[in-house]
Amino acid sequence: MKEITVQELKQMQDDKENFQFIDVREGYEYVEANLGAELIPLGEVPDSVDKFKRDQKVVVHCRSGKRSANAIKFLEENYQFDNLYNLKGGILAYHQEIEGK
């Protein structure tokens, strides 16, 4: 599974790189804190496959990286995606390493 670090994500955002950004946490988690990603909760991924783009890089994140890894594994194994990147450490790492929280 391909991963990117929070520093790489921040650089992509700063450079206004064209990529899709998806958050697979639950709605209540998203309301509490989010990074501006599109919300597709993990449980809705099987019914939302068509929302994941195939023609550009897709960065998937969750709280710590586990749920996003599960979503990516599901999509790669069942739908042959090859453009998905897991955010290593998830939103927790982003808050700690980028925002200093």
CATH number at residue 67: 3.40.250.10
CA-to-CA dists, residue 72 to 16, 43, 67, 93, 98, angstroms? 23, 13, 9, 19, 24
Q: Return per-residue pLDDT of the chain as tens, 101 residues.
A: 999 999 999 999 999 999 999 999 999 999 999 999 999 999 999 999 999 999 999 999 999 999 999 999 999 999 999 999 999 999 999 999 998 87
Task: Count structural domains, the chain.
Answer: 1
> Domain limits at 12?
3-97
Amino acid 58: pLDDT: 98
Confidence at residue 101, expressed as pLDDT on a 0 to 100 scale: 72
Please give the pLDDT value at position 100.
84
pLDDT at 68: 98
- Residue 60: φ, ψ to 5°: -115, 135
